[in-house]
Amino acid sequence: LKLVIFLNITLFFLISFFIKRKQLHPFENIFLLLILEFIFTGYIGVIHINLKVWEISEREDLYILFRINEVILTPLLYLWCLNIIGSKRKILEKVKVSLVYISLIYSLEFLLVKWKVIIYKEWSIWQSLLVISTLMLVSYILLVFFRKLLRKESLRI
Amino acid sequence: MMPFPEVFDQNEWFVLIVLFLSLVIVYLLPKRMPLSITVLIMIYSFTVARLSDHLLSSPKIDLYNIMDTEKYEFFDLILYLLYAPFGYFFVYIYEKIRVRGYWTVVYILLWSSFGSLFEWVSVYFNIFTYKEWELKYSFTVYVFTQTLTLLLFNYLRKQHQCNTENADINKQVYKK
């Protein structure tokens, strides 16, 4: 049942994401999605395989659920957030949006912890919050550099 | 966090030498496409490699190992960088020889065969250690990912041409 619920959430999210008008240029969206996938799977690889501070459920359905979250849902949530941040002019507004999305992304992780998809071992909430914030910041900085390149090529962004 | 190799042997040397040579070729080749597209194709190439390795070689599925251990090593990261120039060569030649129509199928098949051959050499140098995996499966993965690469490239090229404020820039960057 958990997998079905999660699949439905992912599908509804995917539909909303694709029908929503994006604030960023398609090049920026592709760039961010690829960067997020690369960094996020690397992060999971380090904490789950190398450091073993996260244990992933052995149950097949929960394992699939974890992978869907890792490869589709979470990176798209970051991307959604960065789209909104990219459209805001004031720094305070950017910070507000970031805080909302950091709590949203963490809530999703918390749900997986509650469902025993992820089992924390020597890991705590603040570390997750720190990683989410850092990943958001790093992606945003990379976006700024990429945007400069697009402007140089006279792309309408 | 990301272990360094305990013994710096043939697989590490292989990765470093091929990476160096391929980056030199990328640098020396005359530019045929905008830098933004080059950057995106390169990032796409190593991200797809990372994603497929992460999903297929992580503990529960564990079809093969990359480099020396099952862990996500520092040299795994260097290995992913190797996919970037190869992705670039793939679209560069596609653009240079103007592959169109059914020749695209032939082009993808040729590159998938080259990819499989290169992987076979990589297995020889212990870059990959197969468990349940076989080289013939890789061929199918290459056909799939290379088709996606060309779709992405054509999409990016169209978007770039439509969104550029100054049409002259396109004439300069897409050298005919």
Q: Indicate if the pLDDT at residue B151 is higher than 70.
A: yes
Output the pLDDT for position B146. Answer: 96
Question: At A157, which amino acid appears?
Answer: I
In this predicted structure, the answer to whether residue B175 has a pLDDT above a threshold of 60 is no
Long-range contacts of B52-61 (CB under 8 A, 24+ apart): B52/B141, B52/B145, B54/A41, B54/A44, B54/A45, B55/A67, B55/A71, B56/B133, B58/A45, B58/A48, B58/A49, B59/A49, B60/A56, B60/A58, B60/A63
> Do A30 and B156 lie within an 8 Å CB cutoff?
yes
Residues 14-73 in B contacting A (C-alpha not used; CB under 8 Å): 34-36, 39-40, 43-44, 46-47, 50-51, 54-55, 58-60, 70-72
**Residue A151 CB contacts under 8 Å (≥ 6 apart), including other chains:** A157
| A32: nearest Cα among A114, A146, A157 | A146
SS3 state at B165: coil
pTM across the whole model:
0.92
Residue A73 confidence (pLDDT): 94
- Confidence at residue B167, expressed as pLDDT on a 0 to 100 scale: 52
Give backbone dihedrals phi and psi of B62, rounded to 5 degrees, phi first: 50, 55
- pLDDT at position B154: 95
Cα–Cα distance between A149 and B145 in angstroms, integer? 26
B87 in A contact zone (CB under 8 Å): no
Q: What is the pLDDT of residues A47-78, one digit of tens each?
A: 999 999 999 999 999 999 999 999 999 999 99
How confident is the model at residue B168, as a pLDDT? 56
| Dihedral sign for Cα atoms in the order A14, A16, A18, A24 | negative
> Is it the case that residue B58 has pLDDT exceeding 80?
yes
pLDDT of the residue at B172: 55
What residues form DSSP beta bridges with A119? A55
Token couple for B27: 């640098």
Listed range (A4-8, A14-18, B166-170) with the worst mean pLDDT: B166-170
- Angstrom CA distances, A51 to A44, A118, B45, B51, B65, stand at 10, 14, 27, 20, 18
pLDDT at B60 > cutoff 90: no
pLDDT in tens, B74-132: 999 999 999 999 999 999 999 999 999 999 999 999 999 999 999 999 999 999 999 99
Question: Is the ipTM of this structure higher than 0.85?
Answer: yes
Could you give the 3-state DSSP secondary structure of residue B148?
Answer: helix
